[in-house]
Amino acid sequence: MTVRVRLSGAKPIKIGTRASPLARAQASEVAARLAACHGLPPEAFIIVSLTTKGDQLREQPLPDIGVKGLFTQELEERLLSGEIDLAVHSCKDVATVLPRGLHISACLPREDVRDAFISRTGCRLWELPPGAVVGTSSIRRQALLALHRPDLVVVPFRGLVGTRLQKLESGVVDATLLAQAGLNRLGLGQLATEILNLSDFPPAPAQGAICIESSVANSLVTELVSVLDHEATADAVRCERSFLRSLDGSCRTPIAAHATCHGSELVLCGMTIEPDGSHQRTVVFRGRRSAAEAVGGSAARLLISNEAVSLRSRTGVVGLSRS
């Protein structure tokens, strides 16, 4: 049943977002969904675009910056000041510990979680010749490329999706990797030369998910966006973010995690790996959806502990492997 929120007065809801085309597309999707669910006109929402620190430092590799919340801090400051009512994020950009007074109040249905490989010549990843240059801004993708194709040259490659595609077309690199979810949301999904297998290229925690962040004190906004919350996505994201938080993950640390819901349970597949592709460790952990954060934390602690394969705990370990 759809619960409609009555907005008092004519004051529009201000939706904060990064200024990139992808971020604005995500914010527009949220506005359209809210308008449809609550029977509101489009003018009931205003999209406020902000340039974040991560956007300002586009040419600097993310690990060199080393700051969590690079793409969210400015939005969170305006949430706390009341300048905007809610913020729309790519959930993988959101720090695992939020500023006091803010919370993730909804997650939209998740898009494709996989990585897309795009090459200039149409070669698939495994067909690229030795010495080919692949650009990526992700230390996780860099590490996985080093694991599977150590004969390739991997270089830092930042910028908006369109900028990176233009650099690829002009021959700056031979290939690049992007999130398939972002390509799909921009209507560019067909550009993927190959969508990479999850077993070889597990995704970043919360990849493919859009989340809404808002003030805990703003009960009207919490109620307003609650109709958009997709429970399976929210549970999976909570689990993956807990796994990342327990490992103290940052843009300097290659970590992957993917949780899937199965009835009242969820299964988390997690991985850590060194930037040079060495010391890959994986864990598969099953637990209750109602304890999604505990499942993520337990999986991380098991991975850290280096315990033997197929140990059991109350929440139920499926397996742990190391290479």
Determine the Cα–Cα distance for residues 308 and 281; give it in Å rounded to an integer: 12
Place of tokens 């010549």: 121
> For residues 274 and 254, is the Cβ–Cβ distance under 8 A?
yes
> For residues 254 and 277, is the Cβ–Cβ distance under 8 A?
no
> For residues 252 and 63, is the Cβ–Cβ distance under 8 A?
yes
DSSP per-residue letters across 80-97: HHTS-SEEEEEGGGS-SS
Determine the Cα–Cα distance for residues 299 and 316; give it in Å rounded to an integer: 10
Instruction: List the one residue out of 305, 290, 287, 286 whose CA is nearest residue 246.
Output: 305
Q: Which of 85, 93, 112, 235 is catalytic?
A: 93
Instruction: State both tokens at 112.
Output: 């494709």
151 carries an active-site annotation: no
Query: Which DSSP symbol is given to 11?
Result: P
**Over the range 58-88, which residues count as b (16 or more CB within 10 Å of their CB) and which as e?**
eeebbbeeeebbbbbbbbbebbeeeebbbbb
Which helix (H) or strand (E) segment holds residue 298: the answer is: helix 292-305
Sheet holding 210-215, edge to edge: 45-50, 13-18, 86-90, 210-215, 102-107
- What are the counts of helices (DSSP H) followed by strands (DSSP E) for the chain? 10, 14
**Residues marked as catalytic:** 93
